[in-house]
Structure 1
Amino acid sequence: MNTGRAAQKCGPQTVVRAFDKLSIPDIEICCSQSDVQITKCVFILDDWTNTTSNNCTDFIQHSRIKDNIYCYLFETNNTYFFGNPDSGNNLTRPWVRNIDFYFKIDNITNITSKYISVGAISVQLMDPNFNPLWKEKAASIADLYENQTIKSQINAFAGIQNMTTLAYFTKQTIQTILPHDIFAIFGTTPNYHNISYLNVISKYFPLHPNEDVSAGNFHGHFNVGPGSFIHDVQSEKLSHTVLFALGLFGGGFGLISGIYILLFGQLRNNP
């Protein structure tokens, strides 16, 4: 049945939008073979001052431990937002430029005994309005695909011992048509199901020697910020709808009637 519906869809239409602000992503932080702590997260504000949350306790409320993999979910619940520095004075202050995270791995010895790399964690960003792995059930085949992408950590980046990671994200949304959407079937505006995902580019640099690293206060650092405030929205369209079929039928009937009149003349009207 899904294959039949897919055959009726034409190519998606893309709309590009520019925003003054973006929601801060939900951030999943995972470590294999050891627990991990976020010793602090620092919000860099619009005026270049900062506010610090020790242990990030205000923003990490959910955790999941399975198969010796320790995962935590960072979420601001719209307490803060990323602001576009080029938007002028249209933003309500304070807004955030980027966020620094400092992490500490509890048992680096256990990690290095299992892997050939130094101690590391995996980090991935998810749109707070679409997070099927932690918050909601999948509603479509596309949801299941994105959920599997998140589970496989295809879009994740690494936080590495004695390294700093700079991660930049851009947002893209796909508006899909769910099965049995009566509006889409008739050819009017569908009740779109939005699937938002974040594309991430990361860069890695070594940390210089400092007292915090030497004392073991943290093992590594990563920074998260928006790479662009341009948002691509792709909307699915159905090529075969009821209105399309009626229009096609009407056009075909008119064509046949025209050919008939051309060949045999117009029918006589009875008085």
Structure 2
Amino acid sequence: MGVNVQSPMVSVCVITYNQESYIQQCLESILGQKTDFDVEIVIGEDCSSDKTATRIEKLAETNESINLLVNNTNLGVLPNFIRTLGACKGKYIAFCEGDDYWIDENKLQKQVDFLDEHPKYGGVSTNNRWFFENENTYKNSILNEGEISFETLSESNQINSQTILFKKELIKELDWMKTLKIGDWPLHLLVTSQQPYYRLPEITTVYRVHSGGVHSLLKEEIKLRNRLEVLIAVLEHVELTNERKELLNESIRNTLKKLISHRPGDINSIRQKYYDFGGTFLNTTLLKSYIK
């Protein structure tokens, strides 16, 4: 569906599932970008049960830049994400999930210009605005401008992923991510293990928090378990220096300590995993300083 743009500079990766109410705003915000280069929009439509695909097909009829990938069965978030990334042909890749949208028509141009002028960086992000749909309120997420290293991201994911643009050449085989529940954070760690990111100060995007959202509404215990899976997978599959391996080991150990407060019944298995990743003395009294 749609005709691929020839040799696009940027591919925008869009993941959709049952987002009929939001997809129009998302795609129009991408189509409205002002650039002096070609942009393709690669949409991984994961067998939605609503009319998301129909809305996309209607837009694709008049926009050759849209490349709609339709799945006959629901692949799931990460397999669909990886499949869509693999279909991107651009030198650079940007993200925008189907329920989010961009508010700066020069977002892509600014980012491409920055990376072309600063080749030491593997990607460039911006600041973001949160939209809390139930309260109909907005909140700006302002983080400091500057370099974002692997070391910083190993502590926590500090990238609003709908703001990122990164070099496609820095992502290779991604099948190791398919079983994870989080896709953006391990991808950011993969890229920054090779070249750092840079954050620009502008607010260019809106992240929508709503009842149909996935990560933003998860319980803390599930977030910790998902975090643990990501850290272990990156440690096993990404080429890292010994210093960076130890940073991930430390993050893994701290995550295991926090998990005990949520599942005290699992203390023996969590304690054993803690020891497996280089932990030493551990008891519940010591844990109090880690549980917040």
Q: Which has the higher strand share?
A: 1
Q: Tell me the TM-score normalized by structure 2.
A: 0.24
Find the structure with the greater CA-based Rg: 1
Q: Tell me the TM-score normalized by structure 1.
A: 0.25
